[in-house]
Amino acid sequence: MASLGSTPRAGERSPVRAAALIVGAVFLLVGILGFIPGVTTDYDTLQFAGHHSEAKLLGLFNVSILHNLVHLAFGAAGLIAARAIRTSQLYLIVGGAIYLVLWLYGLAIDEHSAANFVPLNTADNWLHFALGVGMVGLGVLLGRRTAAPVPPGSAI
């Protein structure tokens, strides 16, 4: 079995690695979807950054090019982190903490001010809260579990 700080040997799987992989894949998907007209409403108003972007992913979450690029980078980081137990756990806990800070930032700023450069709206703020709590929870709870043997021919 792999220890907390090691890369699992062939034939071992880890719930925390799987969680980091899934979270990373979802962030990649969200980053891609943010660039697709139709999935992103008011796509013609998409701006690089700032609160003037009226584009909304799924008609609900404000997005900008910067916002989408951050999702893509965060997703790629999750896929890379999923290669080892320790980095998976760090990705989930630190990433979750970042989302909790972003939630507080979103609550503190005026949505129509220059400080709203990402851009964020109420739906984004509460999604960031849920992501932060969920990611930290996954990192803490799943990081305590040890790797389990994988039958030959199985994935993570």
**Does residue 5 sit within a domain?**
no
Ranges of residues in the chain with a pLDDT under 70 are: 1-12, 145-156
Identity at 111, one-letter amino acid code: E
**Does residue 76 sit within a domain?**
yes
**Does residue 156 sit within a domain?**
no
**Does residue 6 sit within a domain?**
no
In three-state secondary structure terms, 18 is helix
In three-state secondary structure terms, 143 is helix
Residue 99 structural domain? 14-144
What pLDDT, on the 0 to 100 scale, is given for residue 95?
Answer: 97
Please state the domain count of the chain: 1
What pLDDT, on the 0 to 100 scale, is given for residue 117?
Answer: 85
